[in-house]
Amino acid sequence: MSRKSSKSMHPYVPELKELLRNGKFSRRDFLSTATRLGVSLSAAYAMAGGVLGLCASTVARAAAPKAGGILRCSMNVKEMTDPATYDWSEKGNLARHMTEPLVRINKDNLAEPYLAETWEASEDLKTWTFKLRKGVKWSNGDDFIADDVVFNFERWLDPATGSSNQGRFSSMTRQIDTGKKDKEGKPVMSTVAAEGAIEKIDDHTVRFHLNRADISLPEALGDYPALIVHRRFSDEGGDLSKNPVGTGPFTLTKYSVGEVAEYRRRTDHPWWGGDVYLDGIVYIDHGDDPGPTIAAFASGQIDCNYRTSVEQVPSLKTIPNLVTYETVTAQTGVARMKITEAPFDNKLVRKAIQACMDHTKLLELAYQNFGAPGEDHHVSPIHPEYFKLPPLTQDYALAKKLLADAGYANGLKVRIDCVANPTWEQTAVKVIAEMCRPAGIEVVINIMPGGTYWDRWMTTPFGFTSWTHRALGVQVLNLAYRSGVAWNETSYSNPEFDRLLDEAGAILDPRERSKVMKKLETILQDDTIIIQPFWRSEFLTATNKVRNMYCQVASESHFNKVWLG
Amino acid sequence: MIIFILRRLGIMALTMVVVSVMLFLLLEFTPGNVATKVLGPYSSEEQRTLWLEAHGYFEPLWVRYFSWLGNFVTGDFGESVRFKVPVAEVLWPRLWNTVVLGFWVFVVMIPLSLLLGVLAGMREGSALDRSISVTSIITTSIPEFASAVFLAAIFVFWLGLLPGTSTMTGGFDWWQLVLPVMVLVIYDFGYVARMTRASMAEVMTTPYIRTAILKGLPYRRVIMRHALRNALIAPFTVIMLQINWLLSGVIVVEFFFAYKGFGALLLEASLNQDIYLIEACAMVAVFVAAATQTFADIGYTYLNPRIRFS
Amino acid sequence: MTDLVDALDTRGTVSSALRAVGSFKLLRESWVGMIGTGIIGFWVVIALLAPLIAPFDPNTPLQPFAKPLTEYATGDGTFWLGTDHLGRDILSRVIWGSRTVLFYAPLATASAYFVGILMGLAAGYYRGRIDEFLSFLANVILSFPVLVLYILVITTIGSSGINIIIAITFASAPGIMRIVRGLVLDLRNRDYVAAAQTRGESSWFIMLVEILPNARGPLIVDSCLRLGYVVITIGVLGFLGLGLPPPAPDWGGMINEARSIALAFPHMTVIPCIAISTLVLGFNLLADGLREISLRD
């Protein structure tokens, strides 16, 4: 099956190569599909290189790297106490240079072996075996072993930890009755680890027993809360900033929340991943506002930033010696409508708003055309199982008719909540509002500071929510649109949709899965619970001194192979 | 005099108590909101109830207020929601940074504004007086954010002479202090200069200065020996009260230049609803403002014999 | 004691200020005041004529990142001052923005004066307990650094036009109250007040009809200064992202939106900065002119 590091090649692989050769598949699609079919990542890169006439090693490296130097990066220095509870990619980046994941999502949106060397799944996709890398040393001198992984999993699944990983690995949990009753007398349930879900086979092998098929387990292990901490993390204080023990190539030397975080390369033991060129990394906090970062670039106070917002791209182009890296991601924002609240409980209203949208124009006006137009179903063209539906078109006559049918012939006034930062969200909402106006729908924009906004993102009738990158389409749909799940912000509930989602989640072959995705996408698009303006590209900026830099799809700082020229 | 000082201090203490009540009501009146702010938007109803119970939020409002106030005066400000460290750990270093910034603003502003004010006030209505007055009106008309935009455009982007941000992450750096100090001085010096001018002009019209000049004493000596001493009493108070204004100004300037000071901390805490940090910052800000005001009153009374003995 | 600065600000005695201020004939004597009036007049005219003189709709996205003097691609006009990141014409936004600020600033100032005058009259006229209470309240509010107060209030009640007016009233009324109180304490012993009291007029009649008009001089000077400061306040709030909700063209908000890209497109921030600064300058010059005249007599 696809996730095995199998020796035998999948019969579809030659056909894939053919598709790549005649240009029907991009390199990225090829890599994605081939790895899903069981080809190892390095083999897939080699195949792609062979087909396209590039040598794999030249893809990775152009000039001989130079060792030395400190990379200065602009990023919010947030708290970094416990990776299991992280909720921002900045926090993940602060920990990433010390603690590492089992699986890393690389620049091509592919799951790449990290602390786990290989993994394989049973036929029914319910038993997954991970082989751990040998020779990895913690910075306190201990060896990295299976006990570390078991400790992390048990901790993630413990409700007392409060980790979002509990939802990410929900196939390893079960519900128990706490014995307490809530106000209405219903029993209070609690989610705990399922018995026997985590099994240590030997010092370098762990096996997970899932209670349902889950194809996204490796990708879930690549999310930032799944960074692996030492097995005595809790006993030794449970605060990474105070006790920075990790397997990564760097160690924390200075940390001042909201101001600065400094790292130096570890000298006690060579890093398992080979050469590391930087002597150190410094994250500098320039506040919530993007303005000072530009000023810092202009006066040479930083070498790179963690993320460049789209409005800054044209501006940064005018500073000499800066390079802006772009990557198309499955990051997006949705103007989502809560279908239990008037007037959005009326499907005609929702469809009327949809009919006002010109998604191509939205991308152009609100995101300078960096990315891909949205299709109101939250499955991205870069997701392996994506199915292309017929494009949506702007139709004001239809919008007016739908509005009249819904009983708003004289126009409709709605209010949308939007967070102030990052500003592209406001911009997208402003353009959506302008597009609604000709149909007689007045969209009043309520911009709120982060704190206020996050109090009500789940409950507001109409709000704009940003969604981060996820490697598979089914992951997003499971998180946001399955009935009753924690982040179901639209209150969408459709048994047929849930059933199809279960079905899609049990199909490994992305081409097969996309047939079910077609149905799922169609249902979502037709029910119109979200207006999704675009899939956005992410950017980061670095000076031309910084080599081997790229923009990772989830804004992860991958600096282990970066060097300064 | 001692009674007067005690009275002033008493008023100040009372002010602080009223401010603390206002802040407490503003931010902690609804416990449910507090729990959401502390535990974050993803928290469940169950977690929030447990948290509220554990932190005594089911007690009556006044009990909560006094326990909060008790913790507060003993230096326990609670834990920052966003930084997950005790508030004091972030607050004091940031306040120190702002003190450093404010100190240099004053070091530049006071001599500059006093000099200009005295020069203008010596000869009321002269060309020098007029030009100083108009200049100070113009500079006080340019808000901090606008002069920050202008100065950054010139010195950072166009000439490339000065660093554009002042995070001081690599240790203290004089160059990084230049723009923030410049912006604050430009906005503030005009006001102090005008006050000095008014005070100086008033002194110059008093009979004893006129007499001294008519007696034929050297003009320089009249100014240095007699006029200045009396003319600088009022500016002293004005300068003390400038600290209150400066606390507003630093918010904008620190935000603009990413200076890691108290003002930016307060602003970001407010925008992120980091409530214990907001409470601590606001209390500290009011305390500083009220203390300088009290100090200004006492100092003015002490310096001004007319008031002291009347 | 803390009235010291107010006392210096309104150093001209009440009576001399009275004679001078409010008469435009006298304004001609001060070229500073004339210039101030001219600048304010300029912006008022711009605001009134906004629909006629603005070349484009201020909120319609047209052509992003156009530099000043760029021709609109459709040939329908020129972006004299360029466009912003959404492609909205900056000149049109500055013109319409003058409406926003000249609507909210006087309204907020008037609201602050209404509250401040009532408080000040009551405190100065009744004295005693009422005065002590109101003065203490004013002292408490004035002990907040003013921007701290704005940030606290706006982040709690949310940012909207009406909330900005409320916040400005809340923060400015105590200062106005103290000035009015000082003037009333001076005026309440005048003969005409005593006469009215003997006539048996009601307290509020005396305060509003007899005392207030005679206190108008210093108040007019103060209101000019305060208007300038309110313009700055609205700008600062917009700049900090706490200002009027979009898409209303608001100068401070324009600076805030464009600040991160100010490097390549300085016109996006510098132009609204100039607009705010000149308007504030206008109010400050006018105030200075008025004060100068009031001192001269």
Quickly count: other Cβ atoms within 10 Å of residue A347's Cβ.
16
Write down the CATH superfamily of domain B87-309.
MetI-like (1.10.3720.10)
Residue C16 has pLDDT above 70, yes or no: no
C144/B278 touch (CB, cutoff 8 Å), yes or no: no
H/E element holding A176? Answer: strand A173-181
Least trusted range by pLDDT, from A241-250, A466-475, C268-277: A466-475
**Tokens encoding C83:** 């466009």
Number of helical H runs and strand E runs in chain A: 18, 22
Numbered residues of chain B with Cβ closer than 8 Å to any chain A Cβ:
33, 36-37, 40-42, 46-47, 82-85, 90, 93, 152, 156-157, 160, 162-165, 167, 169, 255-258, 260, 264-265, 268, 270-274
Most confident of A319-328, C1-10, C238-247: A319-328
A&C contacts, CB < 8 Å: 73
Report the relative pairing of strands A250-256 and A260-265 from DSSP bridges: antiparallel
* Confidence band of C91 (pLDDT split at 50, 70, 90): very high
Q: What average pLDDT is seen over chain A?
A: 86
Partner residues linked to B276 by β-bridges: none
Check: CB of residue B303 under 8 Å from CB of residue B239: no
The pLDDT, as a whole number, for residue C102 is 94
Nearest to B83 by CA among A237, A556, A236, A256: A256
Tell me whether residue A319 is in a domain: no
Instruction: Kindly state whether residues A131 and A47 are assigned to the same domain.
Output: no
Instruction: Kindly state whether residues A18 and A114 are assigned to the same domain.
Output: no
The distance of C257 to chain A (nearest Cα, Å) reads: 8
Q: Burial level of A350, CB count in 10 A (0-12/13-18/19+)?
A: buried
CATH of residue A128: 3.90.76.10
Residue A348 has pLDDT above 70, yes or no: yes
C245/A446 touch (CB, cutoff 8 Å), yes or no: yes
Does residue A182 belong to the interface with chain B, where contact is any CB pair within 8 Å?
yes
Give me the mean pLDDT over the C133-149 stretch. 90
The pLDDT, as a whole number, for residue A120 is 86
Alpha-carbon distance of A78 to B80, in angstroms, equals 12
Tell me whether residue A16 is in a domain: yes
The pLDDT, as a whole number, for residue C221 is 87
Give me the mean pLDDT over the A554-563 stretch. 92
The pLDDT, as a whole number, for residue A73 is 96
Alpha-carbon distance of C262 to C247, in angstroms, equals 20
Q: Burial level of C119, CB count in 10 A (0-12/13-18/19+)?
A: buried
Helix (H/G/I), strand (E/B), else coil: A502: helix
Q: Note down the domain range covering A174.
A: 70-250
CA C219 vs CA A45, C38, C105, C182: distances in Å: 78, 21, 17, 11
Of B46, B160, B265, the CB nearest to A299: B160
Does residue C136 belong to the interface with chain B, where contact is any CB pair within 8 Å?
yes
Proportion of chain C above pLDDT 70, given as a percent: 88
Nearest to A331 by CA among A236, A422, A419, A392: A422
Instruction: Kindly state whether residues A388 and A353 are assigned to the same domain.
Output: yes
pLDDT digits over C175-188, tens only?
Answer: 999 999 988 988 88
A287/B258 touch (CB, cutoff 8 Å), yes or no: yes
Does residue B136 belong to the interface with chain C, where contact is any CB pair within 8 Å?
no
Tell me whether residue A170 is in a domain: yes
Measured at the alpha carbon of residue B203, what is the angle toward residues B199 and B208, in degrees to the nearest 5? Answer: 170
The pLDDT, as a whole number, for residue A151 is 96
Residue A140 has pLDDT above 50, yes or no: yes
Chain centre to alpha carbon of residue A262: 25
The pLDDT, as a whole number, for residue A531 is 95
* Confidence band of A54 (pLDDT split at 50, 70, 90): very low
Rounded to 10 degrees, what is the CA torsion of C191, C193, C196, C197?
-100
* Confidence band of A109 (pLDDT split at 50, 70, 90): confident
The pLDDT, as a whole number, for residue A2 is 40
The pLDDT, as a whole number, for residue A91 is 94
Helix (H/G/I), strand (E/B), else coil: A332: strand
Scored b (16 or more CB within 10 A) or e, B104-136 reads bbbebbbeebbebbbbbbbebeeeebeebbeeb
Chain C CA closest to residue B143: C232
The distance of A449 to chain B (nearest Cα, Å) reads: 5
Most confident of A48-57, A196-205, A378-387, A471-480: A196-205
Instruction: Kindly state whether residues A95 and A161 are assigned to the same domain.
Output: yes
Domain C2-57+88-296, CATH class in plain words:
mainly alpha
Alpha-carbon distance of B53 to B44, in angstroms, equals 14
Of B150, B238, B289, the CB nearest to C144: B289
- The interface pTM score, or ipTM, of the predicted complex is 0.86
**In chain B, where the domains are located:** 2-73, 87-309
Long-range contacts of A523-526 (CB under 8 A, 24+ apart): A523/A494, A523/A496, A523/A497, A524/A376, A524/A377, A524/A378, A524/A477, A524/A481, A524/A497, A525/A375, A525/A376, A525/A377, A525/A389, A525/A392
The distance of A521 to chain B (nearest Cα, Å) reads: 27
For residue A144, give the DSSP letter.
Answer: P
Report the relative pairing of strands A250-256 and A205-209 from DSSP bridges: unpaired
The pLDDT, as a whole number, for residue A51 is 62
Helix (H/G/I), strand (E/B), else coil: A102: coil
CA C12 vs CA A129, B124, B195, C5, C245: distances in Å: 88, 15, 14, 13, 41
Last-in-domain residue among A227, A250, A273: A250
Instruction: Return phi, psi of residue C117, to 5°.
Output: -65, -45
The pLDDT, as a whole number, for residue C1 is 36
The pLDDT, as a whole number, for residue A57 is 41
Higher pLDDT, A296 or C266: A296
Alpha-carbon distance of A150 to A208, in angstroms, equals 10
Of B83, B256, B271, the CB nearest to A257: B83
The pLDDT, as a whole number, for residue A248 is 95
Number of residues that make up chain A: 565
Check: CB of residue A55 under 8 Å from CB of residue A42: no
**What subunits touch chain B, counting only 3 or more CB pairs under 8 A?**
A, C
CATH of residue A409: 3.10.105.10
Residue C18 has pLDDT above 70, yes or no: no
Give me the mean pLDDT over the A29-56 stretch. 62
Nearest to B231 by CA among B115, B112, B106: B115
Rounded to 10 degrees, what is the CA torsion of A545, A288, C228, C270?
30
The list of chain B residues with pLDDT below 70 reads: 30-32, 40-47, 304-310
The distance of C36 to chain A (nearest Cα, Å) reads: 33
Tell me whether residue A380 is in a domain: yes
The distance of C213 to chain B (nearest Cα, Å) reads: 27
Residue A459 has pLDDT above 80, yes or no: yes
Residue C106 has pLDDT above 60, yes or no: yes
Which residues make Cβ contacts (< 8 Å) with residue B70, sequence separation at least 6?
none
**In chain C, where the domains are located:** 2-57+88-296
Alpha-carbon distance of A479 to A483, in angstroms, equals 10
Last-in-domain residue among A250, A277, A309: A250
Instruction: Kindly state whether residues A357 and A485 are assigned to the same domain.
Output: yes
What global pTM score does this model have? 0.79
The pLDDT, as a whole number, for residue A62 is 56
The pLDDT, as a whole number, for residue A33 is 63
